Amino acid sequence: MDIERFVGADEAAEFLCITPRRLLELARGGAIPAHAIGGGKRKTWRFRLSELAEAVVAKEPDITAREARYDYGGRFPSGCAKPTEEKLMAHRYQRGCLRKESRKNGMLWMLRYYAIRPADGKKVQRTLFVGYVVDFPTASDAWAEADRLHLAEKINQPGRLGTASFAQIARHYADDELLRLANTTEYCYRHIIDGYLVPRWGSCYALEIKPNEVERWLNSLSKEAEAKNGLEWPTLRKMRNVMNLIYAHAQRQGLIPEDLKYNPVRPAGLGGARCKCTSDYEALILIPEQTFTILNLVPTLERTLILLVAVTALRISEALGLQWRDIDYENSQINVRRRWIRGNIDKPKSKASKAPVAMAPLLAEWLRAWRKESMHSKPEDWIFASIKTNHRTPRVGNMLVADHLRPAAAKSGVFKNGVPKRFGFHNLRHSLSSFLITEKKADVRTVQDTLRHAKPDMTLGAYTKSPMKARIAAQQQVLDAIFDKSASTGAVQ
């Protein structure tokens, strides 16, 4: 007759997927079957895995004792058949363990547990968000919240995931993912989450939000539905994309099932909420003659800045973030190491944005002339420093537009059809791309690298616009070809 052996706390804890410390607490309290060895206050505890499995059966009555009596390491008591891997994971009850984790917005309670990774069948650790420490100061409070959220059911019956609200998965995404993004992107995404998504969907269960509901909501926020305060479609498209990022994060973290059907903003071709991505906005393009007129209407600092942006396609935040040590006269290039945006120094927008910018000899002469005139010409000084802050910070982009660029553009006759709502330094990037490609027939790759775009379709699709005279000239070439051939054959009377 085979006699089942006793196991120690470590092996029994691994069998139940809890910590040895928690196992001993349960043993002392009589919550699980255990055998004490020795007298006095300090005892040695031993366990039988079949007894632990039968204790689990009490919580899962649909599992038979015969199926439940097995050893994690593959050693089974007499008369017990080895269960399948699916039953192994479904029937091994685990409570998980609570841990505090630090985030930018404070300390969190996270529930850790084990699960089988479908890709390779390995046991890996997962986490579920419980709440903030400020809301649940003690572990007892956190366990009570975990019970209220039915987290034990989630980790033991993966098919029953779905009681998390949208506010919970949105907060989990914000705490885990937003800190990895650039400051401006983080600000934008946080504004969308806190200002639009959570107020509308926060109280809803994440799995109960339907694609048609999201689609109707996006349509109700558009300018087509609310002309005065409505949002442009590209803005609504970005809101939809942020919502998709939240759902994708929740599925990766095990907060909701991984099936794509549970994501209401999945690709529209797969049944997700639809959203237009086009806008009526068209960037105003300046021709070189207009840029020259603007340069003659502004002071020296602003003139140098406008010329720099117009010929290099630097973003205004990158141009304002330049210091004299970033100008490499020897290699005829400008190094983009930082940007000045919303009163803060930030890293460049993307990997492509970090590429050095070409500097022609004439532009280098303009920069040398401005350095001689500037009162702050040390290598660590800002090239376009602000007088109001005693040159400790650069100038502010939107103030330069309001005080100098827009008035000069109006005087030079750029606004022939009225003053547009959107006009600034970014129009110079559009103008450079349009001039080089449509007028000078420059190589697309050269223009792409000049604007430092990651993909050429952004350069051609969003930044290049052919002027009307170029279209008329192209049309005339077709007409000439038609009538020259017709004249030789006499086909057209």
- Which of 126-130, 314-318, 392-396, 415-419 shows the lowest per-residue confidence on average (mean pLDDT)? 415-419
**Residue 487 in domain:** no
Name, in order, each residue with C-beta under 8 angstroms of 163's C-beta and a sequence gap of 6 or more.
Answer: 149, 150, 154, 205
Give the residue from 91, 121, 148 where a domain finishes: 91
Six token digits for residue 397? 């982009």
Return the pLDDT at 163: 62
Sign of dihedral through CA atoms 170, 175, 177, 182?
Answer: positive
Residues 437 and 311 in one domain: yes
Return the pLDDT at 150: 76
Return the pLDDT at 88: 38
Residues 341 and 432 in one domain: yes
Residues 342 and 398 in one domain: yes
Mean per-residue pLDDT, 399-413: 92
**Residue 65 in domain:** yes
For residue 268, is pLDDT > 90? Answer: no
Partners of 98 in beta bridges? 111
Residues 76 and 190 in one domain: no
Six token digits for residue 177? 């993912």
Partners of 50 in beta bridges? none
Give the best-scoring range by mean pLDDT among 66-80, 92-106, 258-272.
258-272
Return the pLDDT at 184: 84
CA 273 to chain centre: 19
CATH number at residue 361: 1.10.443.10
Six token digits for residue 438? 């449509």
Sign of dihedral through CA atoms 431, 436, 441, 443?
Answer: negative
Integer angstrom CA distances of residue 149 from 145, 298, 307: 6, 63, 59
Residues 252 and 110 in one domain: no
CA-to-CA distance for 244 and 255, rounded, in angstroms?
Answer: 14
**Residue 175 in domain:** yes
CA-to-CA distance for 296 and 257, rounded, in angstroms?
Answer: 62
Pairing of strands 357-358, 333-334: antiparallel
Residues 102 and 84 in one domain: no
For residue 172, is pLDDT > 70? Answer: yes
- Contact between 365 and 420 under an 8 Å Cβ cutoff? The reply is no
For residue 162, is pLDDT > 70? Answer: no
Residue 368 binned pLDDT confidence (cut-offs 50, 70, 90): very high
For residue 211, is pLDDT > 70? Answer: yes
Residues 423, 429, 431: CA angle, nearest 5 degrees = 80
Residues 86 and 107 in one domain: no
CA-to-CA distance for 318 and 224, rounded, in angstroms?
Answer: 35
Mean per-residue pLDDT, 446-469: 89
Mean per-residue pLDDT, 280-296: 88
Residues 421 and 295 in one domain: yes
CATH number at residue 264: 1.10.150
CA-to-CA distance for 479 and 210, rounded, in angstroms?
Answer: 54
Number of compact structural domains in the chain:
4
* HSE (side-chain half, CA atoms, 13 Å) at 420: 16
For residue 53, is pLDDT > 50? Answer: yes
* Top-confidence residue, 421 or 109: 109
Residues 347 and 430 in one domain: yes
Mean per-residue pLDDT, 301-316: 95
Six token digits for residue 412? 């030079």
Q: Is 276 exposed, middle or buried (0-12, 13-18, 19+ CB in 10 A)?
A: middle
**Residue 434 in domain:** yes
For residue 76, is pLDDT > 50? Answer: no
Give the residue from 237, 270, 303 where a domain finishes: 270
Mean per-residue pLDDT, 175-199: 89
Name, in order, each residue with C-beta under 8 angstroms of 98's C-beta and a sequence gap of 6 or more.
Answer: 109, 110, 111, 112, 130, 139, 142, 143, 146
Average pLDDT taken over every residue of the chain: 83
For residue 259, is pLDDT > 50? Answer: yes
**Residue 281 in domain:** no
Domain limits for position 117: 97-160
Residues 173 and 194 in one domain: yes
For residue 6, is pLDDT > 80? Answer: yes
Partners of 106 in beta bridges? 103
Residues in the chain, overall count: 493
Residues 42 and 68 in one domain: yes
- pLDDT tens by residue, 342-353: 888 888 888 888
**Residue 277 in domain:** no
Residues 445 and 296 in one domain: yes
**Residue 488 in domain:** no
Residue 117 binned pLDDT confidence (cut-offs 50, 70, 90): low
Give the residue from 91, 123, 147 where a domain finishes: 91
**Residue 4 in domain:** no
Percent of the chain at pLDDT exceeding 90: 37
CA-to-CA distance for 27 and 33, rounded, in angstroms?
Answer: 7
CA-to-CA distance for 435 and 452, rounded, in angstroms?
Answer: 16
Element (H, E) at 97: strand 97-103
Residue 119 binned pLDDT confidence (cut-offs 50, 70, 90): low
pTM, full prediction: 0.60
Percent of the chain at pLDDT exceeding 70: 85
